[in-house]
Amino acid sequence: MSPPSPLIHLRALRHRVAGRLVLDLPDWRVEEGEHGLLLGPSGSGKTTLLQIIAGLLSPTTGQVMVAGQDMTSLSEGVRDTVRGACVGLVFQQLHLVNALTLADNLRLAQRLAGYPLDDDRVAHLLARIGLDGRAEARPQQLSQGERQRLAIARAVVNRPALVLADEPTSALDDANCQRLLDLMLEQAAENGATLLIATHDARLKARLPARLTLAASVLEVVA
């Protein structure tokens, strides 16, 4: 019997932007449950890599396997569906929907991923991030830390296999940084998700192992 396939498996991945090679990963894999960091200075292609893994971006060449699905061979529509079901995203700018209440922000994720609305799940998550009783508030009424917690709740609401976070702690002080990481690890454990954080924040290195370090020098390789 072959061992279970890795959660993420990139083969011969190369990505160019305007002719410039920004990513070159011959073979890189992340096994289920292997939380870790994606390191590299600003501009080293961390965000681009996260988007490729999430199927938001197609690499120039190479294969992207996520949860057993070959993202590079899927149509855009199917990729949207796979992403909705298997991948939770936490953006650097959070991108919460201000027109909707906190509860509806979470419900929207359930709905767009094609899952039935589960109000118990929404209430449970709001309680876990300390926002119970504020389900009908709007994101713009929250503090930065509260908004960040809501973004994490939205990423895990559908119990995805993989949670990708892009610089989630860059705007936080030390105490909040540790608290947020605690929350992410706790939610990842509770929902059986694997956590991959793209960051250049040294404070996280003490808590999680680096899975990949992108060198700024990659940018200088001209195709």
Partner 1 sequence: MSIRAFSGGGLGPFGLSLAYLRQNRLATSLNLLLLALGVAAIAGLALIDHQMQGRLTRDVAGIDLVVGAKGSPLQLILSSVYQADVPTGNVPLSTLDDLRRNPLVKQAIPVAMGDSYHGFRIVGTTADYPAHYQAALAQGRMFATAMEATVGASVARTANLHVGDSFAGSHGLTPGGEVHAHSPYTVVGILAPTGTVVDRLVLTPVESVWAVHDHHHHHHDDGDDDDHDGDHDADHAGDHAAEAGAQPPREVTAILVRYASPLAAARLPRAINSETGAQAASPAVELVRLMSLLGAGLDAFRAVGVLLVVTSALGTFVALTNALQQRRYDLAVMRSLGASRARIVIQIGVEALLVSGAGTVAGLALAHGGIALFALLSPKARDFGLSPFTLVPADLGLLGLGIAVAAVAAALPAVQAYRTDVARTLARG
Interface contacts to partner 1, rule CB under 8 A = 47-48, 51, 54, 56-57, 76-77, 80-81, 83-85, 89, 91-93, 95, 97-100, 104, 107-109, 111-114, 117, 154
13 contacts: CB under 8 Å, gap ≥ 6: 23, 24, 25, 26, 28, 52, 59, 61, 62, 63, 64
Please, what is the minimum distance in Å from the beta carbon of residue 34 to partner 1? 23
**Please, what is the angle between helix 102-112 and helix 144-156, to 10°?**
30
Please, what is the minimum distance in Å from the beta carbon of residue 125 to partner 1? 15
Q: Which is nearer to partner 1, 2 or 93 (CB)?
A: 93
Tell the burial category of 42 from Cβ atoms under 10 Å away from its Cβ (0-12, 13-18, 19+).
exposed
Q: Which is nearer to partner 1, 27 or 112 (CB)?
A: 112
Q: Which is nearer to partner 1, 78 or 189 (CB)?
A: 78
How far CA 155 is from CA of 60, 129, 191, 214, in Å, comes to 27, 13, 11, 25
Q: Which is nearer to partner 1, 7 or 87 (CB)?
A: 87
DSSP-based three-state secondary structure for 139: helix
Place of tokens 């009908």: 136
